[in-house]
Structure 1
Amino acid sequence: MTACGNKESETVTPDNSTTPEAVETQPTQEATGTEETTSRDDTGVYPNATGLTEVAMGVTEDICTFKVPLNYVLAGGYYDENNEEHTIQGLNSATTTVEEALAAGSFSTGNHLAFFTMTSLDADQTMITTGMYTPDIMSWDDFKAYYTDAKEIGDESVPGLLYHVEAISGQCVAVAVKVSDDVTLQIVYEGSLEGEIGEDELGQRLYELVTVK
């Protein structure tokens, strides 16, 4: 898995808030593998979001949720018992939005969403790439040892790291979150927010997209 979530390489290259007001929530969508859906963006990460939902993520079981916007395109997959990547049915299109995938049941196939790339269809061109790392690829201690300049964020129960990696658009902010003893979730952000709010605030907002179960 590379720093941007592609698991074909087992190395990660080094080049590689304010609290908003509460929003009204809609009923939990139990059949889709998601939690509450909100009426707009309350994360400060998705400027053109029409709404938010939380998708479950994991390797052999769901261990956290990740807040995603309904109107962004999301393509993702899972790992089989041999640790090979597979695309999840319905999450393999360059045009299918999260909202459309929810309606089609793509998040309730029985597979655990372990990595995804998510892109805005609007002019801001926000892109987020995530990937779950197990110890045979890169452990939490490996992340800490590799990114020696990383800033520690989060707390003792769910620690995080803030650093930069080389992504499609150049040097980008990345956050690693220790979501279990054996799994680290990396988030890579490509967009304009770092220049607007700074890396520290952006890193905190990315960290807060994740809720550990």
Structure 2
Amino acid sequence: MNKNEKKNNVIMLSDFQRNDDYLDDELSNFQKNDDSLDNKEKITAPFAGDSMERFEFLRENFTEVKEIIIKRYLKENNIPTKKLIIDFSFKDNKELFAPALLRGAIFDGYLCHNRQEIFFGVLFHNRIHPSYDKAYYKKLARFHLYNKSNRKNGNFILILADVPNINFKYEDLQHLYLTKRFIKSFEPAIEKNLMIIEKMKFNNNDFNEWYSVIK
């Protein structure tokens, strides 16, 4: 991906820095769609499940789910998926040159295509936890050190997967604030194009497909 190219679903610094329009829109959408659990798609879904059941499925099968999500991102961007590595970490000889605190960083995915290296992280947009900040600072710092020390120009892409109905209703507003807080904490990296955040929206049909494939 060209770092200077902004797609509609890429979240940039300007989306968060000067105003709260993004959050206001999200809160408005939440209020307008408060009855979304009762829609036709949900009723006809072969695996509907309650919020906790759906989230537990994603948590327990995260390796398989994140592979599906990353492959979908690659296909949407016309990038072959054959060489994708899930749960990528640097080899021991490269780790020797990294500070101790940055060793052992694991990326959800890695791909080298046309000499362009892409490192991936995957989080659920509506299930951000405060503890993720530290983990992603480590990943980002390790990625930046690799780029700098090897004179590389890779991309670190964090995919925020928006999956429906994995929260109880009262949790939605809380997680929206946590998501905004998480992204805001990485503003300097976003501004310098060290991190690219992309939001991918999924529906109940996607969820049911994951369940049928994995189970």
Q: How does the TM-score come out when normalised to structure 2?
A: 0.25
The structure that is helix-richer by fraction is 2
| Greater strand share, structure number | 1
Structure 1 or 2, whichever has the larger Rg, is 2
Higher relative contact order (CA 8 A, sep 6+): 2
Using the size of structure 1 for normalisation, the TM-score is: 0.26
